[in-house]
Amino acid sequence: MKILIRATNWVGDAIMAVPALRAVRCRFPEAEIAILARPYVADVYRDQGISNQLIAYDSRSKHSGMFGRERLVAELRTMRFDVALLLQNAFDAAWLAWRAKVPERIGYARDGRAFLLTHAVPVPKSNEIPPHEKFYYLELLRRAGWIDSLWDGPIITLYVSEQNRRSAAEFLAASGARQNALRIAIGAGASYGSAKCWPPSRFAELANRLQAQTDADVILFGTASEAAVTRAICSELRRPPIDLTEKTAIADLPPLLSQCHLFIGNDSGAMHIAAAVGLPVVAVFGPTDPQGTAPVTPRSTIVQQKPYCSPCFLRHCPTDHRCMLSVTPDMVEAATKPWLRAAEAQRA
C-alpha cells in the first residue's frame, strides 16, 4: 500500500503530530509512506524512520501559483497513492489529493472540503478528546479506524544521529562555544506572531543574570524574520552571546539543541524541537494555552500569568500585551534554577 500524508505547516504542530505519524507506521509497517510537507517541516521529519519519502511542497517557488500546484499534482499522480491522510486542515490539502486522483482521502470535515474527501471525519467537539494538540491528530486516526485508542506517552522524541551530534558540536565550537561551559539556548521569536513573544529586554536581563551566576554560554537562535529581536537582546547583554540568528535552518535545530543544557523561549516550534531532543525547557506562555500546546516532556516548566483576556490566540496584541509583560525575569529565573542545578550536577 502507498500512503500519502499531508503534514501540517507549522513546526510546532509538526512535532505534536509525531505520535500520529509513528502510529501510522506501526499500523502499516510494510506500507510505502510519503510525507508531503513544506520544506522546513520535511527537514524535521528527515531520518525519523516514519516515512520512505519526503516530498517538499515549495509554494514559494517550484509549486507557487496555480501552475505550480498543478505541477505538484502531476508529480503526485504519477506516484499512484492508494490513500491520502490529511493532517493539515486546509482546503488545499484535500484539493491536491483529489486532483492527484488518490482513491481514498481521509481528513477532518472542515474548511469547506468535506465533498473532496472519501472519509470526511467529524471534527472533535469540545471535551470529546483531551485538550493537547497531539490528541487532535491521533483522534483523526482513531475515527478513521487506524488505531484503537489515543497514545498518551509522556514525551515526543526526535532521533538525532551520532554523526549529526558531532557535527553540531563542531559547529558550536567554531562559533565560539566553550567545551566545558553550560550552554543556554534562547529562542526569543515565534513565527506565529509577536503576541507570543516575551520582550527582548527581559530575555537580555535574564541572560545577564544567568551568565553572572553560572558562567554559561548563551546561544541565540532565530530566523531572518526574528533578527531584530535577537539584535535587541544582543545590545543589552554584558557578554557577547553566540548569535546563530540566520545562520541555521530548521534541519540544524535538533542536533544543535541536543548539544545544549537548557532551552528558554516562547511557545514556538523551536521550543517543541528542544523538548523532543531531550532538552529541559522553560517556556513563557501568554496568548496561547499550555493545555493545548505545552512541550510534550516531563522536563519542562511553563511560566505564565493569565489576565482575563488570556488565552486569546491572537497573532498580535490589540491592547497592552499584559499577558507577557506580567511575566517577570524573576519568575523565569526561578523556573530555570532546578534545571541548571541538575545540568551542573550531571556534568560534575
The mean pLDDT value for 265-285 works out to 97
Residues whose CB is less than 8 angstroms from the CB of residue 66 and which lie 6 or more positions away in sequence, other chains included: none
Measured between alpha carbons, how far is 248 from 226 in angstroms, rounded to an integer?
A: 12
Per-residue pLDDT at 317: 94
Per-residue pLDDT at 192: 78
Phi, psi dihedrals of residue 2, rounded to the nearest 5°:
-115, 120
Per-residue pLDDT at 62: 86
Q: Which three cell numbers stand for residue 248?
A: 541555521
What pTM, to 2 d.p., does this model score? 0.96
The amino acid at residue 216 is A
Calculate the average pLDDT of the chain.
95
Residues whose CB is less than 8 angstroms from the CB of residue 67 and which lie 6 or more positions away in sequence, other chains included: none
The mean pLDDT value for 162-174 works out to 97
Q: Which domains does the chain have, with CATH numbers?
A: 2-143 (3.40.50.2000), 162-347 (3.40.50.2000)
Angstrom distances, CA of residue 271 to CA of 93, 163, 322: 26, 23, 22
E strand or H helix at 340, and its extent?
A: helix 329-347
Per-residue pLDDT at 328: 98
Residues whose CB is less than 8 angstroms from the CB of residue 131 and which lie 6 or more positions away in sequence, other chains included: 289, 291, 292
Whether residue 198 contacts residue 266, with contact meaning beta carbons closer than 8 Å, is answered with: yes
* Cis, peptide link before residue 311, omega less than 30° from 0: yes
Output the furthest CA–CA distance in the chain (Å, rounded).
Answer: 61
3-state secondary structure of 334: helix
Per-residue pLDDT at 193: 82
DSSP 286: S
* pLDDT over 80 (residue 164): yes
Closest CA to 13 of 137, 109, 139, 152: 137
Per-residue pLDDT at 123: 97
The mean pLDDT value for 113-129 works out to 96
The pLDDT tens digits of the residues spanning 294-335 come to 999 999 999 999 999 999 999 999 999 999 999 999 999 999
The pLDDT tens digits of the residues spanning 124-148 come to 998 999 999 999 999 999 999 999 9
Measured between alpha carbons, how far is 285 from 231 in angstroms, rounded to an integer?
A: 22
